[in-house]
Amino acid sequence: MESKLIYHGSRMIVPYPEIRIAKYHKDFYYGFYCTYIRKQAERWATRMGKSGYVNIYEYHENPELRHLKFETMTEEWLDFVVDCRRGKTHDYDIVEGPMADDTIFNYIQSFIDGKISRAAFWELARFKYPTHQISFHTARALQTLNFIKGEEVHGKE
C-alpha cells in the first residue's frame, strides 16, 4: 500500500497523535487533523502570530478502515460538516476533504443559524487557496501514522 507524507500544525511536537475531545466540534467531528498541504499546517501551527511546529508523518492507507473522502465541497460535504459541527457522531475511521477555514466556518454557522440560505452559502463559499484536511477518528486509524519529525515554524508576532 502506498504511503504519503502528511502534516499536523501544533503548538508542540506530537510524536504520539491522539484524539482529543475539544470544546467545539470540528468539520469532521472530534479527531486528529492533518493535511497534505504543508503551508496549511504552518498556518495551523502559527495561529495568533506565535511559533509552533509542523509535525510530519508518513501515512499508510489501510483499506480495511472506513474512509470517507470528499474531493470537493459538495452538498453532501456541507451536510456532513453541518451535522458534525452540531455534534452528530459518525462511524468513519478517517474522513478527508476540503476544510471550512475561518471565513467558511462563519458562513456555515450563518447557514446553521438560518441567517443565510443554502444557495447563499454556495455563493459565498469561494476559497482563496486550496485547502485539505484528513482526520483520524479511531485508534485503528491513528495506527496508520508514523511520526517522522517536528519542525519549528515562526508566526508574525
The 10s digit of each residue's pLDDT in 32-72 is 999 999 998 998 899 877 899 999 999 999 999 999 999 98
Contacts of 133 (CB under 8 A, 6+ apart): 27, 28, 33, 34, 35, 96, 97, 98, 99
The reply to whether 120 falls in a domain is no
121 found inside a domain = no
Instruction: Please indicate, yes or no, if residue 105 is contained in any of the structural domains.
Output: no
- Asked if residue 109 is part of any domain, the answer here is no
| Cβ neighbourhood burial of 135 (10 Å; 0-12, 13-18, 19+) | buried
Count: domains in the chain:
1
pLDDT at 73: 86
Predicted TM-score of the model (pTM)? 0.85
Domain that holds residue 27: 3-99+131-153
**d(Cα 14, Cα 130) in Å, to the nearest integer?**
25
Asked whether residue 23 is assigned to any structural domain, the reply reads: yes
90 lies in some domain: yes
Task: Quick: pLDDT tens for 98-155.
Answer: 987 667 778 888 888 999 888 888 777 765 566 899 999 999 999 999 999 999 999 7
